[in-house]
Structure 1
Amino acid sequence: MRLIIAEKPSLARAIADALPGNAQRQDGAIVCGDTTVTWCLGHLLEQAAPEAYDPADKQWRLDRLPIVPSTWQLAPRPKARGQLAVIRKLIKQAKEVIHAGDPDREGQLLVQEVIEHMKYRGPVQRLLISDLNRPAVSRALTTLRSNAEFQPLYQAAQARARADWLYGINLTRAWTLTGRQAGHDGVLSVGRVQTPVLGLIVRRDNAIRDFVPHPFYPLWVDLQVAQGQLRAWWVPKEHQPLDEQGRLIDRAPADALAAQLPGATGELTQLEQQEKRQAPPLPYSLSALQVDAARRHGLSAQVVLDICQRLYEQHKLITYPRSDCRYLPEDHLSLAQRSLSGACQNDDTLRQWLDGADFSLRSKAWNDKQVGAHHAIAPTGKPADLSQLSATEGQVFRLIVRNVMAQFYRPLRTFEVKAEFTLLKEAFRARGLSILDPGWKPLFTTREDTPPLPPLTQGEACQALGAGVEEKETRPPEPFTDASLIKAMMNIGRYVDDPAVRRTLRDTDGLGTEATRAGIIETLVQRGYLIRKQKALRATRLGTALIAALPSAVSTPERTALWEQRLRAIAEQQDDAYAFQQALLEDLRSLLTHSDAGKLKHSLQTAKGEAGGVAKRTSQTGKRYVRRKSPGGRKKTTTKN
């Protein structure tokens, strides 16, 4: 008997549907001739608890830390025993086993750890499926590979699981016990990804809280030129009182110049004109989709992930969603017109986009060299009955189809003009943008952010019609939202101070993975470290206090991002899992010496989390500024005297 072990029931059903013969369902399995398909239910096994290694560690004690198993053990998850019994019975009868976990690091671990836990020693092959449609599954069944090829991937996943256990168990126990000494009754959870994510939010909240606005004074002038009018902005000289961004912070010079400008003449002294071509945005990875869905439709990262899983498993409308790739295989190009036509059948908006597509075009999205274990999220081609989808499912599905459809639209062509005028020996700049060919742009927005300028000629004369000075205030950083936090986790190098580390992190996956980022955010909310205020994610008093009490190395991104880099190196056979663990243990022992009840108690007493709202800020001019929302939903700053 040939046994196929899938990662989840939906994948098992898709495999069984693609096998020859009549499928017969059994308890926990599907029999198709001489092949039986069974499944896991996510992780059936988990790292054993500390007391499994030594009963003395059931009680939490500082003098027992760090806890380091000498021989690692796995234990069945409480709800998994029944399915494990099914797999155990079937694997004893199998002459050949096929590993059908998802095509990524965790998928490799999830099924292989079950096979090894059952002590199966026969041949194991690997089935890689990223699309649940029958033709795709049938093709995958004809291209099985040896599971031995994926052993480095398994070792990296196993190293990650063990390292997370060591880090989380030991630091959580240390700071929870320290918290008790400081008067906090509850678990203080610390994790190698969740804590740096919390640290990002706490530091952003602190920057908002401590921000002191100051006024600045941009000066505009309306100019008459040969073929029309335009507005230009003064460029103050370096001897003027300027802030770090070159903005004028003393109104007097601006008022004096504005009074002299009406009627003044000058000329166009610098002119840059350039035609630009912009390729369409690439198809989505999961994180990129979560960012766009949050911005456009206000959906949380977890909601988007849940929707994608339903579109993939239940509706079979999209390919594997937990992808970190934004490129598609080259052999999918010939199938794209058919799959997009199927996806667009039952929706007026999608059909309209389809009518405008030119399938003779080829964008840079079709690139085998950029595709790893996964390719970008794409429609499968199954006709979508949007009346059977929820409103949010329809919104996410349209986004996925749109970004693939955009690959068959012309590039956006624009004509950009930058002009500098000289009047009264002062420089004034204007910028304009004309759209020569909208290309893919109408699929995304019809808004034009920068209006065009009238036709201009180098050296032509101009005359000032009027001028004015605006009073503006600098604004604090925006609080994190699901969209901006996911983007920060993807591009974590931007939040690292060390230039060498930032360069190292430029090409890594950042904090977390495509599959875990949404769950990390929700875990922080559930544990009381974060709250959602409208769309914003703010740290609570407890979350703020924990970050203040922890060593900065635990709450900053450098360590965990470099972890991910080493795990990738293990998967690529460029690093060693044992060496990685030994380095972690050395680091862990050092961190444990920093648990300090006095510091934690002080942090809990002084933390001012954002649960109660945004604090009022006083500007340098003595006014109080309160962040509000206008009736139209746009944030604005109002003053109270």
Structure 2
Amino acid sequence: MKQLILAEKPSVARDLSQILGAREKHKNYFEGPQVVVTWALGHLLGLEMPEDLHKDWAQWQLTTLPMLPKKIGIKPLPKTRGQLKTIAALAKRKDVGEAVIATDAGREGELVARWILQYVRFNKPVKRLWISSQTQKAVKQGFNDLRPAKEYDNLYYSALARAKADWLVGLNVTRALTVKYDDNLSAGRVQTPTLAQVDQQAQKISQFKPRQYYVVSLEANGQTARRQQKDQFALPDQESAQKLVERLQQETGRVVKITHKDQSQGAPLPYDLTELQREANQAYGYSAKKTLSLVQSLYEIHKIVSYPRTDSKYLSSDLKATMAERLQAITAIVPEAKSYLKAGSKVVAQKVFNDQKVTDHHALIPTEQVPNYAKLSQDEHRIYTMIVQRFAGLFAQPYRTKQEKVTVAFGNEQFIFKHETVVESGWKTTSGSETATQEWQEGTKIAPKFRISAEQTTPPAPLNEGSLLAKMEKYGLGTPATRAEIIEKLVKTELMERTGKHLQVTPKGKQLLGLVNPALISPELTAKWEEQLEQISHGQYDSRKFLSEIEAETKKLVAEIKNSDKKYHDHSLTSKKCPKCGAALKERQTRDGKILVCTNPECDYHRRAEAKVTNHRCPQCHRKMLLVEGKNGTYFRCKYDGTTEKPTGGKKRSKKMTKHEEKRLLKKVNQDEEPAESALALALKKAMEK
């Protein structure tokens, strides 16, 4: 009998088929003597929508809210029926004796597979492949240690509870806001408190009032030390600082104390996903989504890093035996790895091995596979280097310094000079330049050489993706696997926007935060829910009780919106009128730029809000022309010399796409397209079409 192996993506299925000897290639699966390997396309199924459950829920009305179905079934997502049909046919084959879940080893991966097996009514034994890297060695070891799928039931219950909770809160609150205020307003149990974090930081900045203060410093032996003071604003003006200096100059300065202290700093632990996203944002400006995409590629395609969607920075004890092979794989990028191998591949930072702190997956580290650097993009190389350098630090000696602290007193006032000497650079590749200083001795008299400087308090910095991720992690908002998606969703729904390297809440987002119940804005409630979901995955909390609490909170949130007398102003409304029906036009942001759409639901008028730069060349100056939509229809215009041209004029340009243009457009769409659509995403899509 054969095993039916269900991978999450076609690329993973292809790799598994090669390792398992499934050489026979079909359109939607691979087959070998012992296995049949097929795949999902991310999620193939989703929870049923309100209109699937109750006819009264087909229309968006306040009177039908809250929607609290006793049971929410599953249904195929658009464009996935073909693959589902293939899996169903394979599942019913008489020569298939069992299934192996080989989707991502995490909460969402478990849900992907369970829903598929449930939908095709698979009634044969099911096993689970649980691996933390995609190398040939790891896959073979994983298949030698397949576990009964029943052992992962709690992980499935947690994923299902998360999906239903998002359905209940997201769909009900979004419908209530959209209908009440006649605009597409998206809210959710994780995205709304995340948005609030950005807004609260902006409020701190706007409320900030700079204060000036003065500092007195002492210069001696080629160093400078500030006066020690508990109150930062003890010297509020130049006059008080000058009086202090005049008084100090009457005193005799002496070295009253010299202390030496040896300090040792061990290497940082390996990355978890969130910290990697934070540091990649700081170092290279990568968005959380881009970093996740890059590290996912290193894991799935190149197979040179372990499972990326991890929230642990620790390693399990059984990985000790693999350290030498992993070091050997990175010698080309970390020269020190050769000396670590000669020393017996001994991990100096032994605290990294902690079985109790390893959750579903261990920290993000390199695999035993030697990279083909020629096949890595520059961005992939950067991320891989970050992961490798963190890993290599585990084998290096601590960073050791000797710190000298010299206290100089002028009467009751003290100045503390500090100097640090690097004894051993250890895991730090650069230790900085040493500055030569004179030796100090207790009792030495010090000349009164003072300096007054004016300083000013600075406002807190606006949040960027790195600092927002840190706050999300601190308050338990989302998981490492979902945080990037949440940030992108807030941007796509025009509640938040990127301004350079920073994030800011849009006027629409600010209003949304004022319209919802404070309970949904506070991170405490969401953090509690995420903690309970984690407990469900470990069999420590009942998913039915969790959903009961979610239903109660949903009722409260919807009632608050229904009974609210708050006002809302749609900032996307323009003063322009629809030429077809006279209704106001609304501005919408799309992948292809801003467009104007008619607010009349029965009118389909829309046009581009701003001219689009095209590849069509001006016949006079040969520069790229703009595509303009106006009263006279669509035409090309050159912004340099004013030349205009009809799309069908000039070189008789065909409106029909060339094969090259069609291929390029399809590639762009496929890149932009999300692998899966949640229930809330589908609901929002419907709302956007209104």
Displacement after TM superposition at 1:391 (Å): 1.5
Shift in CA distance, 469/67, structure 1 to aligned 2, threshold 3 Å: same
1:580 aligns with 2:546: yes
User: For 1:521, what is the secondary structure of its paired residue?
Assistant: helix
User: For 2:227, what is the secondary structure of its paired residue?
Assistant: strand
Deviations 1:562-599 (A, max 9, x none): 10111111122221111111111111211222226642
Match of 2:141 in 1: 139
Give the 5 Å matches for 1:360-379: 360-363=346-349, 364-379=351-366
Query: Which of 453, 477, 486 pairs up with 1:520?
Result: 486
Deviations 1:64-87 (A, max 9, x none): 111011121111011211111111
User: How far, CA to CA, are the matches of 2:46 and 2:425 in structure 1?
Assistant: 52
Match of 1:467 in 2: 450
Query: Which of 125, 128, 153 pairs up with 1:126?
Result: 128
User: How far, CA to CA, are the matches of 1:453 and 1:331 in structure 2?
Assistant: 49
User: For 2:352, what is the secondary structure of its paired residue?
Assistant: coil
Match of 1:616 in 2: none
User: How far, CA to CA, are the matches of 1:521 and 1:381 in structure 2?
Assistant: 33
Shift in CA distance, 149/247, structure 1 to aligned 2, threshold 3 Å: farther
Identity %: 33
User: How far, CA to CA, are the matches of 1:15 and 1:387 in structure 2?
Assistant: 23
Displacement after TM superposition at 1:95 (Å): 1.9
Give the 5 Å matches for 1:354-365: 354-355=337-338, 357=340, 358=343, 359-363=345-349, 364-365=351-352
Query: Which of 178, 200, 203 pairs up with 2:200?
Result: 203
User: How far, CA to CA, are the matches of 1:114 and 1:455 in structure 2?
Assistant: 74
Match of 2:621 in 1: none
1:410 aligns with 2:397: yes
Shift in CA distance, 23/204, structure 1 to aligned 2, threshold 3 Å: same
Match of 1:311 in 2: 298
User: How far, CA to CA, are the matches of 1:109 and 1:520 in structure 2?
Assistant: 19
Match of 1:216 in 2: 213
User: For 1:599, what is the secondary structure of its paired residue?
Assistant: coil
Unpaired runs of at least 5, structure 2: 573-690
Displacement after TM superposition at 1:13 (Å): 2.5
User: How far, CA to CA, are the matches of 2:569 and 2:466 in structure 1?
Assistant: 33
Shift in CA distance, 248/530, structure 1 to aligned 2, threshold 3 Å: farther
Are 1:417 and 1:432, in contact at CA under 8 Å, matched by a contact in 2? yes
Deviations 1:501-547 (A, max 9, x none): xxxxxxxxx11111111111111111111221211111111111211
1:47 aligns with 2:47: yes
Shift in CA distance, 251/153, structure 1 to aligned 2, threshold 3 Å: same
Are 1:132 and 1:312, in contact at CA under 8 Å, matched by a contact in 2? yes
Are 2:348 and 2:397, in contact at CA under 8 Å, matched by a contact in 1? no
1:336 aligns with 2:323: yes
User: For 1:441, what is the secondary structure of its paired residue?
Assistant: coil
1:236 aligns with 2:219: no
Displacement after TM superposition at 1:452 (Å): 8.6
Counterpart AA for 2:528 = L
Shift in CA distance, 550/417, structure 1 to aligned 2, threshold 3 Å: farther
Query: Which of 560, 570, 589 pairs up with 1:594?
Result: 560
User: How far, CA to CA, are the matches of 1:356 and 1:178 in structure 2?
Assistant: 67
Give the 5 Å matches for 1:164-175: 164-175=166-177
Are 2:316 and 2:355, in contact at CA under 8 Å, matched by a contact in 1? yes
User: How far, CA to CA, are the matches of 1:385 and 1:333 in structure 2?
Assistant: 25
Displacement after TM superposition at 1:397 (Å): 1.0
Displacement after TM superposition at 1:23 (Å): 1.9
1:352 aligns with 2:335: yes
Shift in CA distance, 423/249, structure 1 to aligned 2, threshold 3 Å: same
Counterpart AA for 1:10 = S
Q: CA RMSD in A?
A: 2.3
Shift in CA distance, 325/453, structure 1 to aligned 2, threshold 3 Å: farther
1:560 aligns with 2:510: no
User: How far, CA to CA, are the matches of 1:452 and 1:148 in structure 2?
Assistant: 66
User: How far, CA to CA, are the matches of 1:430 and 1:39 in structure 2?
Assistant: 65
User: How far, CA to CA, are the matches of 1:140 and 1:532 in structure 2?
Assistant: 42
User: How far, CA to CA, are the matches of 2:404 and 2:356 in structure 1?
Assistant: 37
Counterpart AA for 1:254 = A
Match of 1:161 in 2: 163
User: For 1:217, what is the secondary structure of its paired residue?
Assistant: strand
User: For 1:249, what is the secondary structure of its paired residue?
Assistant: coil
User: How far, CA to CA, are the matches of 1:246 and 1:48 in structure 2?
Assistant: 61
Match of 1:291 in 2: 278
Displacement after TM superposition at 1:11 (Å): 2.6
User: How far, CA to CA, are the matches of 1:453 and 1:246 in structure 2?
Assistant: 31
Deviations 1:406-459 (A, max 9, x none): 1111111122344433213212233332221110011xx5447x97975545x4
Displacement after TM superposition at 1:461 (Å): 2.9
1:532 aligns with 2:498: yes
Deviations 1:261-281 (A, max 9, x none): 458423344554321211111
Are 1:549 and 1:603, in contact at CA under 8 Å, matched by a contact in 2? no
Query: Which of 105, 108, 122 pairs up with 1:106?
Result: 108
Displacement after TM superposition at 1:470 (Å): 1.2
Counterpart AA for 1:230 = Q
User: For 2:368, what is the secondary structure of its paired residue?
Assistant: coil
1:5 aligns with 2:6: yes
Displacement after TM superposition at 1:168 (Å): 0.1
User: How far, CA to CA, are the matches of 1:452 and 1:490 in structure 2?
Assistant: 42
Displacement after TM superposition at 1:308 (Å): 0.9
Displacement after TM superposition at 1:480 (Å): 0.5
Displacement after TM superposition at 1:260 (Å): 3.8
Counterpart AA for 1:67 = M
Displacement after TM superposition at 1:325 (Å): 1.4
User: For 1:471, what is the secondary structure of its paired residue?
Assistant: strand
Displacement after TM superposition at 1:355 (Å): 4.3
Are 1:432 and 1:452, in contact at CA under 8 Å, matched by a contact in 2? no
User: How far, CA to CA, are the matches of 1:556 and 1:260 in structure 2?
Assistant: 52
Match of 1:499 in 2: none
User: How far, CA to CA, are the matches of 1:530 and 1:217 in structure 2?
Assistant: 39
Query: Which of 170, 177, 189 pairs up with 1:192?
Result: 189
User: How far, CA to CA, are the matches of 1:111 and 1:537 in structure 2?
Assistant: 36
Counterpart AA for 1:3 = L
Displacement after TM superposition at 1:54 (Å): 0.7
Are 2:106 and 2:360, in contact at CA under 8 Å, matched by a contact in 1? yes
Are 2:22 and 2:37, in contact at CA under 8 Å, matched by a contact in 1? no
Shift in CA distance, 422/601, structure 1 to aligned 2, threshold 3 Å: same
Displacement after TM superposition at 1:603 (Å): 10
Displacement after TM superposition at 1:321 (Å): 1.2
User: How far, CA to CA, are the matches of 1:164 and 1:451 in structure 2?
Assistant: 58
Shift in CA distance, 219/5, structure 1 to aligned 2, threshold 3 Å: same
User: How far, CA to CA, are the matches of 2:234 and 2:131 in structure 1?
Assistant: 55
> Which TM-score applies when normalising by structure 2?
0.78
Are 1:47 and 1:74, in contact at CA under 8 Å, matched by a contact in 2? yes
Displacement after TM superposition at 1:290 (Å): 0.7
Higher relative contact order (CA 8 A, sep 6+): 1
Larger radius of gyration: 2
Deviations 1:222-245 (A, max 9, x none): 13xxxx4432211236xxxx4xx5
